[in-house]
Amino acid sequence: MHGVTRTFPSRPEPVHALRGVDLDVVDGGLTAILGASGCGKTTLLRILAGFDRPDSGRVILDGRTVAGPGVFVKPEKRSVGIVAQEGALFPHLSVAANIAYGLPSTPLTAMRPAERRARAERVDEMLELVGLPGYGDRRPAQLSGGQQQRIALARALAPAPAVILLDEPFSALDAALRVDLREEVRDLLRGIATTAVLVTHDQNEALSLADHVALMRDGRVVQAGTPQEVYAHPADPAAAAFLGESVEVPCTVISDVDGTSTVDCPLGTLRVPSESVHGSTLVLRPEQIELSDSGTHATVAVTRFFGHDGLVQLRLDDGTPLRLRIAGRDLPEVDASVCVRAVALA
């Protein structure tokens, strides 16, 4: 999509939900739209699906303009499949009928046996794909939350859409199931090379699932790239903080050559990628700071144990606060005197 804007008339002021969004979705890959609540993710997804119209700009799906000046293609003509937050299956229909719902058909009464057979085969194929063969006769209420989401995915994929839109599809599931199901869905979508767009406010979900992440803020895409790129080279300190834990350290830039800056900061003189310097602030990740035998003196202020690892909050002798991650079994005592250094920078 190019230059897409959408403003909602509202009191006391209109809401500029999208302020000129440019977004390229990777063909055959999974693109995550990541952003805080209210940044415009749902509005963007609704415009992609055709449930809403942009005020200006252009939406191109599979090489065809579906919304733009003088053009508006209805949702059912866009070849788009949608999985909502909570499956939104039809409760009165069987699982099989839910999956078959989006398949093109003649009225049921006029359906020929060959068409009936083809539909039933497609339903079975979809049930197989989402790992629920034999579940066709059940009602949605007889399925767990995770199973319902898999059926919703099967229903969205059944007509072989050009693009599948996933609107926070795992948010209603409990933590363990969420992780399992999202891995499953990623593998499944990769397996059939479907172009997919996932809306989420969960950075772990976006970074672990997507081939491409578009970070939105206040109606704009502020950064887009692979998960590795956006995590390692966030566009600004706010992007860094949203994409994971970040540590901001005051710094003075001494030199800046070929994308590498030399900076003076409380951790010493460091060579760092220039993208990690934002004015007089150096943005690091907690895993780029470690306890060491020598280096900058600090005092342990707070520790948090998370099992597999732990978080240590420190205060350097000059008062600068720092955070680092460490194996849970190695957590130091609060008030301990330690040394820290920065690692794995430029």
Question: Closest distance between ligand ATP and the C-beta of residue 87, in Å?
Answer: 17
Question: Closest distance between ligand ATP and the C-beta of residue 201, in Å?
Answer: 5
Question: Closest distance between ligand ATP and the C-beta of residue 152, in Å?
Answer: 18
Paired with 69 in beta bridges are none
Residue showing tokens 């499944």: 188
Identify which of residues 19 and 271 has a Cβ nearer to ligand ATP in the complex: 19
Contacts of residue 342, defined as CB under 8 A and 6 or more positions apart, other chains included, come to 267, 268, 270, 284, 288, 289
The tokens for 16 are: 């500029």
The tokens for 132 are: 């629920």
Identify which of residues 18 and 326 has a Cβ nearer to ligand ATP in the complex: 18
Question: Closest distance between ligand ATP and the C-beta of residue 50, in Å?
Answer: 15
Question: Closest distance between ligand ATP and the C-beta of residue 78, in Å?
Answer: 19
- Contact positions toward ligand ATP, by CB under 6 A? 8, 10, 15, 17, 35, 37-43, 201
Identify which of residues 8 and 306 has a Cβ nearer to ligand ATP in the complex: 8
H or E, element range at 76 = none
Whole-number Å distance between alpha carbons of 138 and 118: 20
Identify which of residues 95 and 224 has a Cβ nearer to ligand ATP in the complex: 224
Question: Closest distance between ligand ATP and the C-beta of residue 270, in Å?
Answer: 36
Query: How many Cβ atoms sit within 10 Å of the Cβ of residue 63?
Result: 7
The tokens for 67 are: 């919304």
Strands 80-83 and 56-61: unpaired
Strand ranges (DSSP E) for 154-257?
Answer: 163-167, 195-200, 212-217, 220-225, 247-250, 252-257
Q: Residue 118: phi, psi to the nearest 5?
A: -65, -40
| Residue 74 CB burial class (10 angstroms; 0-12, 13-18, ≥19) | exposed
Whole-number Å distance between alpha carbons of 66 and 48: 9
Identify which of residues 167 and 338 has a Cβ nearer to ligand ATP in the complex: 167
Which of 57, 52, 46, 111 has the alpha carbon at shortest distance from 82? 46
Identify which of residues 14 and 134 has a Cβ nearer to ligand ATP in the complex: 14
Identify which of residues 38 and 268 has a Cβ nearer to ligand ATP in the complex: 38
Question: Closest distance between ligand ATP and the C-beta of residue 323, in Å?
Answer: 27
